[in-house]
Amino acid sequence: MFKLNKWLLVLSVIVFIGLLGLSVYYESIVYLYAASALPVAIVIFLPDLGRHQYIRLKPKAGVRFLKQTIGGDPVLTIAFKPGFIRWNHSRKLYFHLNSMGNSESSGATEAKAASGSASTEAALAVLPFDLSLHPRKQGWIGIDLPQLAERTRSLSYTTDEVSRLLIRMADLEAAAMKVMVTPGAVTANEGKQLQA
Can you give the pLDDT at residue 143? Answer: 92
Q: Alpha-carbon distance 82 to 122, whole Å? A: 9
Q: Alpha-carbon distance 3 to 17, whole Å? A: 21
Strand, coil or helix: 70: strand
Can you give the pLDDT at residue 196? Answer: 39
Chunked in runs of 10, what are the mean pLDDT values of the chain (196 residues)?
Answer: 68 90 93 88 65 74 82 88 82 84 47 44 88 86 91 85 91 78 45 42
Can you give the pLDDT at residue 56? Answer: 77
Can you give the pLDDT at residue 97? Answer: 84
Element (H, E) at 132: strand 131-133
Can you give the pLDDT at residue 21? Answer: 94
**Other beta carbons within 10 Å of 95:** 23
Tell which residue, 134, 138, 131, 115, has the closest CA to residue 52: 134
pTM over 0.85: no
